[in-house]
Amino acid sequence: MDYKQELQQFFGERCLLAEPMALHSTYRTGGPAEAYVCPASQEEWSFVLKLAQTYQIPLHILGYGSNILVGSKGVQGIVCATARMNAISADSTHIKAQAGAALDHVCQTACRLGLGGMENLSGIPGSVGGAVYMNAGAYGQETFDCLEYFDVIDWQGHPATLRKEEVEHGYRHVAGVENYIILSASFKLSPADPFHLTEERNLTLQKRRDKQPLEYPNAGSVFKRPANDYASRLIDDTGLRGLTVGGAKVSEKHAGFIINFNHATPEDIRELMRQVRQKVQEKHGIALELEQILWGDFAE
């Protein structure tokens, strides 16, 4: 038996082979994952981890695919999506959520319950695990601001709880997080007026609709904010709004975004990223750092 047969035997129809990652990335493009599963329990995670170890198969953890670009030649090994682990619970000061819960759903719940501190994260279309991994943030709030601790397992399956203070973190950076699978996160929030929080949330959602090209597939800001500036301002100032490679375009609405406006290949998007970096470097002498994460193999 090879690893795919073992995986199929264990997960049955829930194991998908040659699964197009275009279906699981907000860019709506990307080649196949050799195998794709959604573990829902500790037992299922343990099985996948052990299998990957036995067969020396690469394992990739997928949240909602809203910050990745997958090459057209696809991803070797097993993609494990967290989507089936999505429980949320709350008390008067905390919300705890499993890694596959939608961050926006957690924000909505917090606002409804009168728990303040994450209302400005509303509308980020990632999972809780992805938000912790990236230290996602917006409009002056970052995931780690209200994070208290997160539960993980390492690649050998050992569980641990990491408290915020123990983990070096900064703007879109969490040191060592790639050594873990994030299972859940607990947020410490402050009691506040639910009506006011919901108003703040709605304002944030409206700002996103006004400023971001949500009508096209994209994966948010392509580059990190450089010191004392904005990537979108530099890209705009370099005259790159509307720059196109194949079906990929620098958004005219928000120059920090690349949109898949016409069946873009992953290679179109990657080439456009390269051109934008090069032109901004030439004009401003600033090397933009990619925020998005490239997965798998790209065609040359």
Q: Which of 30, 63, 256, 266 binds ligand FAD (CB under 6 A)?
A: 63
Query: Looking only at residues 3 through 42 of this chain, which bind ligand FAD when binding is defined by CB under 6 A?
Result: 26
Nearer to ligand FAD, 166 or 193 (CB): 166
Told to check if 134 binds ligand FAD by CB under 6 A, we report yes
Tell me: does residue 120 bind ligand FAD (CB under 6 A): no
Query: Residue 285, exposed/middle/buried by CB under 10 A (0-12, 13-18, 19+)?
Result: exposed
Is 291 a known active-site residue?
yes
The reply to whether 181 sits near ligand FAD by the rule CB under 6 A is yes
Cα–Cα distance for residue pair 183/181, rounded to 1 Å: 6
Please, which of residues 202-261 interact with ligand FAD by CB under 6 A? 212, 214, 218-220
Burial of 279 (0-12, 13-18, 19+ CB in 10 A): middle
| Of 8 and 109, CB closest to ligand FAD | 109
Least Cβ distance, residue 212 to ligand FAD (angstroms): 5
- Report if residue 74 touches ligand FAD, rule: CB under 6 A: no
Residue closer to ligand FAD (CB basis): 63 or 116: 63
Residue 65 contacts ligand FAD per CB under 6 A: yes
Known catalytic residue at 172: yes
Among 3, 11, 64, 187, binds ligand FAD (CB under 6 A): 64
Active site annotation includes 14:
no
Nearer to ligand FAD (CB atom), residue 192 or residue 214: 214
Q: Binder to ligand FAD among 21, 38, 68, 101 (CB under 6 A)?
A: 68
Rounded to the nearest whole angstrom, what is the least distance from the CB of residue 269 to ligand FAD in the complex?
13
Q: How far apart are CA 282 and CA 211, in angstroms?
A: 27
User: In whole angstroms, how far apart are CA 233 and each of 52, 71, 209?
Assistant: 43, 28, 19
**Active-site choice (72, 122, 184, 221):** 221
Q: Return the bridge partners of 142, or none.
A: 137
The two three-digit tokens of residue 75, written as one number: 């991803």
Residues 124-142 as b or e (16 or more Cβ within 10 Å = b)? bbbbbbbbbbbbbbbeebb
Q: Using CB under 6 A, which residues numbered 83 to 102 contact ligand FAD?
A: 99
Give the residue, chosen from 21, 29, 57, 66, that forms a contact with ligand FAD under the rule CB under 6 A.
66
Q: Which residues are catalytic?
A: 172, 221, 291
Binding region for ligand FAD (CB under 6 A) = 26, 61-68, 82, 99, 124-127, 129-131, 133-134, 136-138, 181-182, 212, 214, 218-220, 293
